[in-house]
Copies of this chain bind each other. A is one copy, B any other.
Amino acid sequence: MRRISPDTKPLVVVLVGLPARGKTYIGRKIARYLSWLGYSTRVFNIGEYRRERLGTHLRQDWFDATHAEGSAARSEMAQAALADLLAFLKGGGDVGIYDATNATRARRDEVAERCTSKGCQVVFVESICEDPTLIEANIRETKLRSPDYAGVDPEEAARDFRARIDHCARVYEPIQDDPLSYIKLIDFGRLMVVHRIHGHVPGKIVSFLMNLHLVRRPVWLTRHGESEFNREGRIGGDPDLTADGDKYARVLAYFVREKSVTPPVIWCSTLRRAVQTTRHMPLRALQWRALDEIDAGTCDGMTYDEIEAQLPKEYADRAADKLNYRYPRGESYADVIQRLEPVIIETERQTSPVLIVAHLAVLRALYAYFTDQKPEECLTMEVPFNTVIELKPGPYGFDERRHVLDLNG
């Protein structure tokens, strides 16, 4: 475990809220963020336990608190999911996210008691939303696509789901005067109440949730246009664009103009080839040092062949552990991920489309975050030139499209 603090215990994040309040969305986002930062994190979703054990045919009446069989089965599955979560933490996991309604104070006290007795820290995250438009949108976009309603008429499904919410609302007790550590999220980040939250990872969760919103805007990732060094196969440096590189800058500007309904946010690194790639844009790009290419230290300006021939040990070390290998006087991928964290938080915060013009190593690390992969899974991925990778958030996760731009288009 990446225990950054000596008294850090494994953490249980307990979601709380009525159905269609975005619990699953919030849980998955927290999981993605913490995994990317290197914490072993897993979501335990009670709905998946139900579907796996009982199938997808159950309708609203089964979710009524007075439905004896339903109540017993739901309680039993809640226990099973929590048991699996605690086993995951015992086996070396850092953070377990418990995705269930946890609607009553008694239930929350029981969960807290059980986790605490296993030596875990517990933080409750309650999502409150009374905005009927947001709730209805959530039902339409996530619940109707659930396997629970496969093949069911959408209106019928929505009615059924609303009845399911009503059953839960009858017994629901919002967190109030609970002596627990909790974060209350009201209307997805407009207002947040933070009660007895301490420690490093809980603090990171608060910062992350503070920037949450529901606007679906694309993130566009692209490498800079071709540079002089690219043509020579050298790494690093601060070369200018070639004529082809400038052509890409032109078609990229055209792409952004065509695709943007609202004015986009344009970010690039501080390196010349990235800044030049944004020079024909309708809006001025803002430069981030955090987007600069991985610092190759004393290998800056060399080709990979030269490194292999002149510094065989460096070459071999890098091949052996690309994530943690640090160039002499330079950086590792792990260093790059650390400095990219503010870029992630700022991207999450933006409600406009975001275009990021950067470099191979940086884009691999960003891509891993947006596609919910571990960084080590993306360290060798291809990021072709003259291509915009479009990542558009869906209800859960991202849809990906690749736009290969024609330089003579």
Contact = CB atoms under 8 A, between A and B. Distances in A.
Interface of A: 4-7, 190-200, 203-204, 206-207, 210-211, 265, 267, 286-288, 290, 297-298, 326, 328-329, 338, 342, 345-346, 349
Contact of A5 (B6, B7, B346): B346
Nearest to A338: B338
A29 B392 CA distance: 40
Contact of A191 (B190, B191, B193, B198): B193
Nearest to A341: B200
How many copies, total? 2
Contacts of A191: 193-196
A345 B203 contact: yes
B193 A203 contact: no
B196 A194 contact: no
A349 B5 CA distance: 11
6 contacts: A6-B267, A7-B265, A191-B194, A200-B346, A206-B207, A206-B210
B288 A6 contact: yes
The 9 A-B pairs at the shortest CB distance, nearest first, are namely A6-B286, A203-B207, A192-B194, A5-B346, A4-B342, A328-B329, A191-B195, A200-B342, A193-B193
A199 B5 contact: no
Nearest to A266: B6
Contacts of A5: 288, 342, 346
A152 B343 CA distance: 54
A185 B349 CA distance: 23
Contacts of A195: 190-192
A292 to B, nearest CB: 13
Contacts of A288: 5-6
A337 to B, nearest CB: 13
A196 B349 CA distance: 11
A291 B204 CA distance: 21
Contact of A198 (B193, B210, B297, B342): B210
Given A206-B206, A297-B329, 14 more contacts: A6-B288, A6-B346, A7-B265, A192-B195, A193-B193, A194-B206, A198-B349, A199-B349, A203-B345, A206-B207, A206-B210, A326-B329, A328-B328, A328-B329
Nearest to A2: B289
Contact of A193 (B194, B196, B204, B326): B194
B200 A190 contact: no
**Candidate in A190, A297, A346 with the most chain B CB atoms within 10 angstroms:** A346
A298 B211 contact: no
**Candidate in A194, A195, A287 with the most chain B CB atoms within 10 angstroms:** A194
A345 B288 CA distance: 26
A143 B267 CA distance: 49
Nearest to A186: B195
**Candidate in A5, A287, A298 with the most chain B CB atoms within 10 angstroms:** A5
A4 B290 contact: yes
Contacts of A196: 190-191
Nearest to A200: B342
A328 B311 CA distance: 15
A6 B346 CA distance: 9
A211 B287 CA distance: 33
Contacts of A203: 207, 210-211, 345
